[in-house]
Amino acid sequence: MRGNFKYHCILKYSMSVRTTCYVLYIYVIQSKKDKRFYTGFTENLRKRFYEHNSGKVSSTKNRGPFELIYYEACLNEQDAIAREKYLKSGMGKRYLKNRLKRFLSLTG
């Protein structure tokens, strides 16, 4: 992924579209309290994870603390939104359960 990011930034810079590049993260956190998942996306994964654990996100306010169990990176906002939507769907949840089956079997 790192190589693609560099190429994308150089390409964007050389085309003068914009001079800064950013990555959008699609993430899945699991509540240590009720073991339920929450999926979202953000530009700043560390900050957003802190916000979830600090009770600053209304949809997860009373469910913390959380553990970050999965994330992906996208260079395009529409791709990130589509991926988040997919991971929240039935097929996306099956994908995640299959992808994380070893982790989920260890954590119960």
pLDDT tens digits, residue range 63-85? Answer: 999 999 999 999 999 999 999 99
Q: How far apart are CA 49 and CA 32, in angstroms?
A: 14
Q: Give the pTM.
A: 0.77
Which of 14-23, 39-48, 54-63 has the lowest average pLDDT? Answer: 14-23
Do the Cβ atoms of 83 and 71 come closer than 8 Å? no
Instruction: Name residues whose C-beta falls within 8 Å of residue 27's C-beta, 6 or more positions apart in sequence.
Output: 39, 40, 41, 42, 45, 48, 49, 68, 70, 71, 72
Q: Could you give all domains of the chain from N- to C-terminal order, each with its CATH number?
A: 23-107 (3.40.1440)
What SS3 state is found at 35? coil
How far from 101 is each of 27, 28, 69, CA to CA, in Å? 17, 14, 11
Name the E strands within the chain. 24-31, 37-42, 66-74
